[in-house]
Chains A and B, each alone.
Chain A
Amino acid sequence: MEQAIATYKEEAGELLAELETSLLELEETPEDNDLINRVFRAMHTIKGSGAMFGFDEIATFTHEVETVFDMVRNGKMTVTKRLLDLTLKSRDHIAYLLGCPIGEEVDRSPGDEIISGLRQLVPQLEMPQKGSTEVPAINLPGLSEEELSNECTWRIRFRPLPNILICGTNPISLINELRELGTAHVVAQFDEIPQIDELVAENCYIYWDIILTTSRGEDAIKDVFIFVEDDCDIKIELIDKSGLIDRDEGYKKLGDILVERGDLSPVEMQKVLMLQKRFGELLVEQGIVSPEKVQSALVEQQHVKGVRKERGEAPQAEAAASIRVPAERLDQLINLVGEMVTVQAHLTQVSMAGGDPTFIAISEEVERLTNELRDTALNIRMLPIGSTFSKFKRLVRDLSSELGKEIDMETFGGDTELDKTVIEKLNDPLVHIIRNSIDHGIEMPEARKAAGKPSNGTVYLGAEHSGDSVLITIRDNGGGLDRDTIRAKAIEKGLISATAEISDREIYAQIFAPGFSTAAKVTSVSGRGVGMDVVKRGIDGLRGSISVDSVRGTGTTITLKIPLTLAIIDSLLVKIGKDHFVLPLAAIEECVELTREDIKNSHGRNLANVRGVIIPYIPLRQHFLITDQRPEIEQIVIADIHGTKVGFVVDHVVGEHQTVIKSLGKMYRDVRGVSGATILGDGTVALILDMGVLLQSVEELENAGV
């Protein structure tokens, strides 16, 4: 039962996210019937499943909001800002209720306020009594002509797994939900109930045949079973649709129904037909089909005949297109693929060393398959980033209203996919950036008008692919950053020297320093100087980079460059002495030789002249105190770190490498410049270097005069 509740909570959380997205979209297109239906369905599913798993508070509360949206759906109410405000609050209240342990006292006052607000919107609406724990049935109004024309009859065989009752699921609740969808005839099948000496009392042996006529579509039926789909076999077949299947008032013969259901074979049917008696009786008499099954087929026959008679006269069921898999299982798969990549590297190494052409061919084939497996496994974890965009729309909506500003949010590239872990970790940085844009970036409406801008400000949030990374852009059309104030503040804080000649971009980058704030006053939204350094740390943690562009009076653009995945990266494998190191390939631009002569010519300064451009470098041998014999010719790996070209001197460049990232133990957590480790083909460990942090630590040492 606990597992079922956890699953419900997880899925209800997803439904709430979908609900929020739909509501925010509805604000822009209030007459979009698809969106209205999505809101209704999300509410309906949360309610129905809530009741099933004992979340009576959720079921009761959600029912009331759902009832209002049912009126909207039926054209009896229109979508207004007030309705959306209340429904968004309802979503928050449901989220709160979801977090409350079942059976414990909950704070009903926010829910009561919302319901009271909804009542004012629809005074004619009959709401259930406050505090009622019973979930009342939805009183659907009479079917419109359009709904009638969408009416379909479905044959549903619902066969729960034996343990469904022990898991706490009550199949009757599900059947009642189906009844709410339209006209249903339900026949319980008892033929699998064993005799008492074989009966396991807590198991479920009954299964059900349900004939349902509804205008709500197959998805609505599937939604009923959404939380038990792993605990039962469900077969849903379209057997009648207005205007499409068998226009006449009659319906299939009993034998045809039984054959379709798989309860009777065509050969058996022919045999019985030869006897010229009532078909159902013959089947039962001869023990070919149980009376219950004949009865169930007769119920179907009568049901459809009735429906057709009444009306005077959807697409086919689709196979399940997706399955739900716990995230931990995917993580486990990625770990296994990582191990496999490592083993494959070892295999390649051994095969190359052996020189046997057959063995090499096999190892190359394994390498190809492993790469495909790796890409496929990583793709499974990719999610569209748009799923998080709606959260930010809500943030913009709520904060702008709190600050008295008029701000819209526009998004693009919501279907850009990123690793799920990356998406989760992007949340905090994006919240901070957007809060800053709203608070410091976008001006008050009067100030915007005075500056000749429209009173409505806009925050743009978008994502796009760029090689093996995704660029996330947060742009506002506010006042832009004040270069001089930032510079002055940075000098005051000792972050840059007063005489330093640095680019605008470098000045803007100072806003990511810990404790940096130019805000004259601290608001509830931002200005405390904590936030943008959190952004920087968050993005660094994702091995990403961040850049700021701003034009005074026009706006600011912050661009985050994030790697597609955190699990396996393309890297450059290098060697210093006997040790291997790994440098992430994304930032590397080129490798050049560094001779003893070059070192001598630079007079002790770590600078290299690369085709006329002076590039500073960090001798890693020195940095890591590696003391064995230095080669005559070393290699400088030149990387672009936040717009600055920096070289890293190593003994040898081994080549490109697929690096499976392993985290370092607690003991190494504070080692700066090392972000992880990987296991090479021969089993040795190579450290993964964090070039940005290495550069920073060397700069700090130099500034300290060490």
Chain B
Amino acid sequence: MQLNSSVRENGEIIITSGDRLTIESASEFSRIVKESLETSYLVAIEFEPAVEIDITGVQILCSSCKSAAVSGKVFTYHGPQPQALAEIITACGAERHSVCKHNNEHTCIWFGGGK
């Protein structure tokens, strides 16, 4: 499956991850998220179970989340988080142990954390 986006009837934009959210597709991924956040209140990602994710993918998730929080929108995901995301979070020390100030002091849905 390709990295892509589609709009649901309720206006929610679903971004499908495709096989990889890595540096090769980073530019495209960030463009799709940016355009989606510009046009919709609710943007969600559906991950392919075997998707590959690298640091650029992690950064785009964090950046999108910050942008959504600033503009009062929602950036989330549907379905289970892929194994690759859990692995890269552990590998690069991205687990949060505190709330995210960019996420209105809530636990980060991507990287964890708590009050």
Contacts and interface: CB of A to CB of B under 8 A. Distances in A.
Given A190-B94, A196-B33, A201-B29, A165 B63 contact: no
Interface residues of A, number: 34
B101 A205 contact: no
Interface string A190-207: 100111110101101110
A291 interface: yes
Contacts of B91: 172, 175-176
Given A175-B93, A202-B27, A206-B59, A195 B66 contact: yes
Interface string B23-46: 100110110011001000000000
A190 B92 CA distance: 11
A171 B55 contact: yes
Interface in A539-571: none
Contacts of A171: 55, 92
Contacts of B67: 195-197
Interface in B69-108: 70, 88, 91-94, 96-101
B58 interface: yes
B58 A206 contact: yes
A201 B98 contact: no
A201 B56 contact: yes
Contact of A165 (B23, B29, B96): B23
A436 interface: no
A201 B30 contact: yes
A505 B88 CA distance: 72
A197 B92 CA distance: 24
Contacts of B58: 206
A298 B98 CA distance: 11
A486 to B, nearest CB: 67
The secondary-structure label for the interface of chain B is helix
A22 interface: no
A121 interface: no
B110 to A, nearest CB: 10
Contact of B59 (A176, A193, A287, A294): A193
A199 B92 contact: no
B3 interface: no
Contacts of B64: 196
Most chain B CB within 10 A, of A185, A196, A206, A291, is at A196
B23 A202 contact: yes
Given A201-B26, A204-B55, A196 B98 contact: no
A202 B26 contact: yes
Interface string B49-62: 00000111011101
A166 B26 CA distance: 11
A225 B11 CA distance: 47
B92 A172 contact: yes
Interface in A293-345: 294-295, 298-299
Contacts of A77: none
A359 interface: no
B76 to A, nearest CB: 15
Given A172-B55, A172-B92, A186-B92, A196 B63 contact: yes
B55 A193 contact: no
Contact of A199 (B63, B88, B94, B101): B63
Given A193-B62, A196-B63, A295 B96 contact: yes
A188 B66 contact: no
Nearest to A287: B101
B55 A294 contact: no
A48 to B, nearest CB: 16
Contacts of A388: none
A309 B59 CA distance: 36
Contacts of A284: 98, 101
A315 B88 CA distance: 34
Interface of B: 23, 26-27, 29-30, 33-34, 37, 54-56, 58-60, 62-64, 66-67, 70, 88, 91-94, 96-101
Closest 4 CB pairs of A and B: A186-B93, A201-B26, A201-B30, A195-B67
Interface of A: 165-166, 170-172, 175-176, 185-188, 190, 193-197, 199, 201-202, 204-206, 208, 210, 284, 287, 290-292, 294-295, 298-299
13 contacts: A165-B23, A165-B54, A170-B54, A187-B93, A188-B94, A195-B66, A196-B66, A199-B30, A202-B56, A206-B59, A284-B101, A291-B99, A292-B96
